[in-house]
Amino acid sequence: MSTLIHESAAECCTTPTSSTLDPERAADLAARFKALGDPNRIALLSLIAAGENAEACVCDMTEPLGLGQPTVSHHLRILTDAGFLTREKRGTWAYYSIVPGALESLCSELCADSGLGSMLQASRTVKDAQEPCC
């Protein structure tokens, strides 16, 4: 798998071409974005955020989504593995709640690592101070 730059770097002639963010980091960011790339998972985040104490258990989510319980568990697992949710088991029930900084962190990491940040500052002159972005 060649992809991107980053080579061993100890090489005598490292390609002078602009090296981008290393593949590992790109994969990490992409994996987290992918976890958000499903309508039902977005709906789950919304349901949890809107729930009592900003948490919700599986049984409360399977019906609004119209999905089977295994499927809901599956999606919750993906969101949890991606770092967007935490699971707390109280009795027989499993309560999922949102990890506070996860989403903003993802966005800001992409901006920072990819050099998108400078882009944005330039654009900020146009539509500045419109939305605090989270």
Partner DNA sequence: CTCGTATATCGACAGACGTCAATATTCTTG
Partner DNA sequence: CAAGAATATTGACGTCTGTCGATATACGAG
Residues that bind a second copy (CB under 8 A): 1-5, 17-21, 23, 26-27, 29-31, 33-43, 45-47, 49-51, 54, 64-67, 98, 100-101, 103-108, 110-111, 113-120, 122-123, 126-127, 131-134
| DSSP assigned state of 4 | S
Close Cβ partners of 85 (under 8 Å, ≥ 6 residues apart)? 45, 48, 76, 79, 96, 97, 98, 99
Helix or strand holding residue 15 (H, E)? none
Using the contact rule CB under 7 A, the part of the chain among 11-19, 72-80, 102-110, 122-130 near DNA is 72-80
Interaction of residue 40 with DNA, rule CB under 7 A? yes
Interaction of residue 58 with DNA, rule CB under 7 A? yes
Cβ(58)–Cβ(69) below 8 Å: yes
